[in-house]
Amino acid sequence: MSFVSRREFLYGSALGLGGLALTALLKNNFNTPTPFNPHQGHLTTLHHPAKVKHVIHLCMSGGPSQMETFDNKPVLKKYHDTSIPEDYLKKNPLPRLQKEAKTGYKCMGPQFEFKKYGQSGIEVASIFPHVANIVDDLCVIRSMQSDQIDHGPALTFFNTGTILPNRPSMGSWVNYALGSDCDNLPGFVVLSSAGGGMNQPVSSNIWHSGFLPSTNQGVKFQSAASKNLVPYIQSPKGVTQELQTELYKAINEINHESYKHYKDEEIQTRIHQNEMAAKMQLSVPELSDLSKEPDHIQQLYGPGEYAKNCLMARRLVERGVRFIQLYHRGWDHHEKLKLGLKRVSHLTDQATAALITDLKQRGLLKDTLVIWGGEFGRTPVAQNGDGREHHIKAFSMWLAGGGIKPGMVHGVTDELGFFVKENPVHVRDLHALILHLLGIDHTRLTYTFQGVKQKLTGFEKAQVPKSLLI
Amino acid sequence: MKNILLVSIVFMSPVILLLFLDAPSTPPKKIKKNQIADSSIKFSRDIRPILSNHCFTCHGPDKQKGDMRLDTQKDLENITKSINGNAPLLLQHINSTDPDEVMPPLKSNNPLKQQQKDTLKKWIEKGAKYEQHWSYLQPIKTATPTLKDMSKALNVIDYFVQNKLEKHSLTPSNQADPATLMRRLYFDLIGLPPSSDQIKTFTTNFSNQSYEQLVNQLLSSKHFGERLAVKWLDLVRYADSIGYHGDPQISHSPYRDYVINSFNTNKPYDQFTIEQIAGDLLEKPTEEQLIATGYNHMLMTSEETGAVESQYLRMYGNDRVQNLGSVWLGTTLHCAKCHDHKYDPFTQDDYYSLTAFFADIEEKGIYDNYDEREHLKYFYRNIDEVKNLKQQQEHVAELKKKMDSSSEANSAEASHDAKMHLRYSNKLNYFQRSLIASPITIHTTPRETRILRRGNLDDTGGTVVLPKLPDIFAYENKTHKKLNRLDLATWLVSKNNPLASRVFVNVLWGMYFGKGFSETYQDLGAIGQWPSHPELFDWLSADFIENNWDIKRLIKTIVMSHTYKQSSMTREDLDKVDGLNVLLGRQNPTTIAAEFVRDNALAISGLLQLKQTGGPSIRPYQPEQYLKSLIPPASFYFVDNNINQFKRGLYVHRQRSAPHPSLLAFDAPSRRHCVAKRNYSNTPLQSLALLNDPTYVEASRKFAERIINNKANSIEDKIKWAYFETTSRVASETIINTLKNLYEINHLHYANNKQDARLIMTQGIMKPDPKLQIIDIATWSAIARCLMSLQETITRY
C-alpha cells in the first residue's frame, strides 16, 4: 500500500493540471491543516502480506449453467429426459419449478460436449474454445453454494454477504480498508454489458457503500464504448479544456477565500475534490479512448461491448483501480438454454480469455485476482422443456491470478450435479478468500453499525479455502 | 482518573461517541479534544453500553450461556455482589488471566479495554446501581436549570444548553449576523435561498421582532411543507419505482403531495401518523385519509417472474415492521427477525406479532404486471395523459394486427414487427405506469402470521401469532377484541409510547443543528447513542405531546432559541474542550441536501418553477443510457422538455435502483429503506455535477442573463451583485479580482470564437434572451458556473 505516495500527492503534487497548483498555493500562504483525504484506507497495516492489489470480478449475471460450462455430468446425460430420483427433491424442493411440479421433473443432460484441455486436463465445454486455451491459468471451483435463489437478492448477497438493506458491497469494503492507489479515478468501478439471454437488471444497490463512507461506493461507468464513462465527465459544449481549467482555478481561489472567512474544513475537502474532478476530466477521456490500443490487442479481445469492457478493465488495473466489476447480463436461460448459451458464450468467451492473456503478458495477472461466475447456477432438471431453473446448492466458478493455484479443480458435485459432495465453497468463503488475498483477515475487517461489529462475511462461519492458495 | 474514564467512554465504539450528563462545575483540566464527561458513573450511559457491546450476545435477552444474563437487574445483582470476601463474579471473569475463564472469551475477538474494566470496577465499588434504559421511560419536563449569565438565554432550550456550557466554563457563541440568519432560516425552513434584495431589507431593519416575523412568514409558506417532506419521504422510503428486480415505475405522487399538504396545514403529528398507518380503518375515511394509507405501500415490491410469492409477502411484513421501528419506535426491531433482540427488550414473538398488524393489507407477493396491482386506485388523471395513453394503445394494437397478419407471409418483416410491437408495448407500459395514481390500503381478511424460525422466509412450522404490541410496553387490551392497525397507530402516538415523540423531536433537532440529540436516530435502544442533552431532549419530547403534537410550534421553539441563532464559526476555546461541538456552544454548518442544491441553483438562475405545489414527478435532463442496465419499462426515460423540468428537486423522478446522477452524487438516498439522517459526502462527482450537468449549465446561462440585465453598470459592480446574490456575502477584493480575471479570459475566448458561445446557448430547452449578445451570455455564464460551484453556495452556515 502506498500511503506515502498518496500523501505526497496531497502535499505537493496537485500540480498535474496546468496552473492548478492549489494545494501548493494553500501551503505557501496559510498554515492549513492536512486536508481530509477521502482516498486513504482505514487499515494502517495489512493483516498479512497481500498476494494481489486488484480484483476484477467478471460477474456473469443471470446464473450460468454449470452443466454446460465447467462441470461435466455424463451420468446426468444417461438419465436425460427421465425423472429425477425422489430423494433429491426431498432434500431440496424446487419451489420455482411450479409447472414441472405438475408435469414431473425431468433430468436434462449437458447440452455441449466436454473435452480435456491444457496440461492440467481440465474439462471445458465446447462453447468456450478460447477459455479452454487458457485453462491452465484457471482454478475451477465446482462446489460453489449460495443462500439466495432470486436474481436481485442473490446478486445482493453475492456482493454484500447479506440481503439486509444498506450493507456495503465487497468492492466498498476493500476500498474502505485499503484506499485507492489511484489519484485520478475512483477506486471501485463498475461496467456492464448485455446479450445472449434474458437481460436481468443490475442496479446500484449491489455496488453501494451501505453504512460505509460514500466515497467507497462503486462508480458505474456508462459504457466502455462511450466517451462519457462517468456522468458529467465532459465539459459543456462550447467550453474548452483551457477555459474549464481556468474555471476550476477560479472556483478554488474563491473557495480558499471562503475558507479564510468560515474556517470550515469542508471547504478544504472541496478544494481537494475539485482538483480530483479536474484530473478526472483529463484522465477519463484518455482512459476511454480505446482506439490508442494497437491492432493486435483489439483483435485479441475481439468485437462487442463486453470485449470493450474487458479491455477497459485491464486499463483500469494498469491505472491502479482497486476493484473492478464487470457485469454481463445474459446468462439467465429458463428456456432455449442451448441457443442462449451459444449466443452468450460467443459474446464473452474470446474477451474473457483475452483479458487473462493480456494481464499475464503485462505482468499484471500476478497482482490481480480475476473471478468469473454468476450469482448462482442452474438445476440439473429441465424447465420448460429446454431450459434450466436457478440453483444454489451447487454451481461452478473460476479464479485466476496472484496467490491462486493455476490449473486445478476444486470441489466435486454428485453425479447429477445437484449437490456438492466434496469441498463446498460458500459465497462467504469466497469473500473471505478475496480479502485474504488482499492481505486482510475477514474476521478483523469490521465496522460498527447498529451497535454490531459488521463484517463482509457476516455472522456465520466463513473459511478461506486454503487448498486453492499457492 | 477523569481522563481514564473519558477514554473508556470514547472507545466503546466509533459510532457511539461520547456524551455526558452532569458536568463537573470546575473547569476541566486539559481535556483532550472530543472527550468530555463527568466523574459520576451512570448505568445507562456508562455501563450498559459496555455490557451490550461485549456481553449481551451470549448473556443477554436472546442467549443465556451458562444460565447467565447481564441485562436484568436481578441477575446483575448476583454477579456484582462480593461473596465470602471474593471479588464479584463479573470482575473475576473480566480480569481473569485463565484463557478458559476470561470474559469476553478470547475467540469472540471482542476484548474489553483496560479503561472499560476500570469503569466496571468503579461502578461496582459505588454500589452497582441499575437503571431502566432511558428511552423506555416516559419523557418528563424537569425544572429549567438556572444560569449565571442569562443575557443570551431566549427560551427554555437556551437554559438547558447554556447550563451545560457553564458547567464546562464555556460561553455560548454570539448571534450570527442577520444575513447568515436569514439564509439559515430560508434553507432550514423552506429549502430555498433568499434573494439579495430580501437580504438587504432584512439586514437593514433587523430586530428580534423582524426575526420572528420572518420565522412566522416562512412557517406559513407553502414551501415549508416541501422542505419538511424531503425528510419525511426519506423516512418512509418514498420513490417512483417498485424497487426490486426490474424496478419499473410506479406513481405515488398523491401520497407525496399529501405529506406536503399535511405539513403545510400543520396537521398534528398524531393525526398524521394514524392517517398513514390506518386511515382506511377510520370511520368514513376521506379521500385524503385514504391517500395517506399509501404509506403501507411505500415499501419495495417485486414483479420478478418465478420468484416465490410467499417469501415476498413475508419480506413485505418485515419491511413494514422495520420501518415502523425506525420511524415511531427508534428501535432496531429487525434484529428480532431471526432471534430475540440481542440488546433490547424485544422478542422474536414481539416482532412477528407486530408484522401481524399488517397481515390484513390486500396485496400480492409478486405482481405479474401493473394491471394486476389491484389495490391501486386511481384518484385522478390528467386528461392529456389519458389521451396520450389512448393513442399509444391504438398504435400498439395496430402493430400487433400488422404483425399477426404478416407473420406467415414474410418472416423478416414479422420479426421486425415483433420488435416494434415489443418496443411500443414497453413504451405503453411506461406511460401507463407514469399516470398519476396512488396505491391505498385496502383491508381484507388477515393472512395467517407465523413466527419464522431463524428468520427463514420458507419456514411454515412456527407458532401462529396475532397482532400484539411488544410486552415491554405493557399494553392493556381493554376491549378483548383482536387488535388491528388502528389500535397500533393510536397507541404509537398515545402518551403510553415513550418513543414516537422522541424519535421525531430528535430528527427535527438533527435538521436544525446538523446533529441530533442522539446521532443514532433509528436506534434509541441500549446500544444507541446516549443523548447529548437528555433533560432538554425529554423536555421537548414531553412538550411536543402536551401541545397536541404541534409540529410548527416545536420548530418555532427551536429556531427562536439563541442556541439556534448562534454563529457557526469555530472558536478555539470551544474546540479545545468540545471539538465535535456536542455542547452546542455554536451552530454547525451543514451542506444542503441534494434536492436543495438543485433548487438553489435554479432559484439563483430564475428558472425555478415554484407556482404549483405537488403534481406528477418530473424528469430533468439525465445522461442518455443512464438506465440502460435496467429492463424496459424502467430503462426508458423521457425528459420533460418543458418548464416542468424546473420544478423543485423533491419532485424529481426517483428510480430506486438508479437515482438521478446529480442527486445521487449529493447523497440523495435510494429510498430503498428508511434514512433518518443522510450521509454527507464531499466527492469529485459532486464537482462534476455542479459544473457539467446540463441543468446547472442551463441555470448558469440564465443566471448570466440576470447578471447582464442587472442595473449594475460596470463589470466589477455586476460581479459584486452576482456574488452577493449567490452567497449573501460581500465579495472581497481577491474574489472580485479572481472573477474579473475569469471574465477577461472567457470574454477574450468567446469574442474570438463565437461558435463556442453559440454552443453554450444550445444547452437546455430555454432560448437565450434575444436582446442580449451571446458572447456576453457565454462569458457571464462562466462566472455563474464558478459561483454556483462554490462550497459556500451549497452550505448553510
Tell me, what's the ipTM? Answer: 0.86
One digit per residue, the tens of pLDDT, for chain A of length 470 reads 333 333 333 332 332 333 333 333 333 333 333 333 445 688 888 999 999 999 999 999 999 999 999 999 999 999 999 999 888 888 888 878 878 888 889 999 999 999 999 999 999 999 999 999 999 999 999 999 999 988 888 999 999 998 876 789 999 999 999 988 787 888 899 998 888 877 777 777 788 888 887 778 888 887 766 667 888 999 999 999 999 999 999 999 999 999 999 999 889 889 988 998 999 999 898 898 898 899 999 999 999 999 999 999 999 999 999 999 999 999 999 989 999 999 999 999 999 999 999 999 999 999 999 999 999 999 999 999 999 999 999 999 999 999 999 999 999 999 999 999 999 999 999 999 999 999 999 999 999 876 678 999 998 899 999 999 99
pLDDT in tens, B141-187: 999 999 999 999 999 999 999 999 999 999 999 999 999 999 999 99
d(CA A278, CA A281): 5
Domain boundaries in chain B?
A: 2-131, 381-434, 498-569, 692-796
Residue of chain B nearest A61, judged by CA positions: B629
Cβ–Cβ contact B673 with A under 8 A: yes
Kindly state the cell numbers that stand for A82: 427421465
Neighbours of B94 (CB within 10 A): 19
Distant-in-sequence contacts of A129-132, Cβ < 8 A, 24+ apart: A129/A349, A130/A349, A130/A350, A130/A352, A130/A353, A130/A354, A131/A349, A131/A352, A131/A353
First to last CA, chain A: 22
Q: Is the pTM of this model over 0.90?
A: no
- Which among B383, B231, B382, B236 has a CA at the least distance from the CA of B297? B236
DSSP letter at B778 equals: H
Q: How far apart are CA A460 and CA A450, in angstroms?
A: 18
Residues of B in contact with A251 (CB under 8 A): 786, 789-790
Cβ within 8 Å of residue A308, ≥6 positions away = A193, A223, A224, A225, A290, A301
Q: How many CA atoms lie within 13 A of B17 on its CB side?
A: 17
C-alpha cell at B315: 419480506
**Nearest CA-CA distance, residue A400 and chain B, Å:** 27
Q: Which residues of A89-122 are buried (b: 16+ CB within 10 A; e: fewer)?
A: beeeebbbbeebeeeebbbbbbbbebeebbebeb
Ramachandran bin of A265, using left for φ above 0, alpha for ψ from -120 to 50, beta for the remaining angles: alpha
Q: Which among B304, B657, B732 has CB closest to A257?
A: B732
Instruction: Give the separation between CA B178 and CA B192, rounded to whole angstroms.
Output: 17
Which triple of cell numbers denotes residue B38?
463527568
Distance of CA B492 to CAs A231, B259, B271, B272, Å?
Answer: 44, 19, 11, 12
**Using a CB-CB distance cutoff of 8 angstroms, which residues of chain A are in contact with residue B687?**
270, 273-274, 276-277
Which of B114, B119, B94, B147 shows the shortest CA–CA distance to B39?
A: B119
Q: Which domains does chain A have, with CATH numbers?
A: 1-34+239-288 (no CATH), 52-227+293-468 (3.40.720.10)
Highest mean pLDDT pick, B244-253, B266-275, B359-368 = B266-275
What residues are paired with A412 via a beta bridge?
A422
Which amino acid makes up residue B452? L
Instruction: Supply B326's cell numbers.
Output: 425506525
Whether residue B697 lies within 8 A of chain A, CB to CB, comes out as yes
Residues above pLDDT 70, as percent of chain B: 92
Distance between CA atoms of residues A325 and A348, nearest Å:
15
B343 has a chain A CB within 8 A of its CB: yes
How many whole angstroms separate alpha carbon A95 and alpha carbon A251? 59
User: How far apart are alpha carbons B778 and A103 in whole angstroms?
Assistant: 70
A240: chain B residues, CB-CB within 8 Å? 749, 756
* Nearest CA among A78, A80, A120 for reference residue A386: A80
Asked whether residue B639 carries a pLDDT value surpassing 90, the answer given is yes
As a whole number of angstroms, the distance between CA A16 and CA A8 comes to 13
CA distance linking residue B631 with residue A192, whole number of Å: 13
Taking the CA of residue A293 and the nearest CA in chain B, the distance in Å comes to 25
pLDDT greater than 80 at residue B206? yes
C-alpha cell of residue A113 = 460436449
DSSP A272: H
Helix (H) or strand (E) holding A335: none
Non-local CB neighbours of B714 within 8 Å, separated by 6+ positions = none
Sign of the torsion formed by the C-alpha atoms of B264, B270, B275 and B277: positive
Name the 3-class secondary structure at B609. coil
pLDDT above 70 (res B409): no
Does the pLDDT of residue B31 top 60, yes or no? no
Which of A192, A276, A453 lies at the smallest CB-CB distance from B629?
Answer: A192
Residue A338's contacts (CB-CB under 8 Å, 6 or more residues apart) are A68, A111, A112, A386
Bridge partners of B439?
Answer: B376
Kindly state the cell numbers that stand for B446.
388477515
With H, G, I as helix, E, B as strand and everything else as coil, classify residue A232: coil
Rounded to the nearest angstrom, the gap between the alpha carbon of residue B60 and the centroid of all alpha carbons in its chain is 31
| CB distance B497 to B487 below 8 Å | no
Q: Is B304 on the interface with A (CB under 8 A)?
A: yes
Can you tell me the distance from the alpha carbon of A64 to that of B251, in angstroms, rounded to the nearest whole number? 35
- Which residue of chain B comes nearest to A150, CA vs CA? B307
Mean pLDDT, range B251-255, rounded to an integer = 91
Looking at B153-239, list the stretches that DSSP marks H as alpha helix, in order from N- to C-terminal side: 156-167, 178-185, 196-204, 208-219, 222-235
The grid coordinates of residue A367 equal 497482482
Q: Do B628 and A450 touch (CB under 8 A)?
A: no
- Residue B345: the pLDDT is 86
Cα–Cα dist A152/B312, whole Å: 12
Contact A140, A151 (CB under 8 A): no
Q: Degrees (nearest 5) of the Cα angle A9, A15, A17? A: 120
CA B765 to chain centre: 32
User: Are B684 and A273 inside 8 Å of each other by CB?
Assistant: yes
Which residue among B628, B684, B742 places its CB closest to the CB of A246?
Answer: B742
Cα distance between residue B233 and residue B656, in whole Å: 13
B residues 9-38 closer than 8 Å to A (CB): 13-16
C-alpha cell at A319: 491505472
Residue A207 · residue A171 · CB < 8 Å: yes
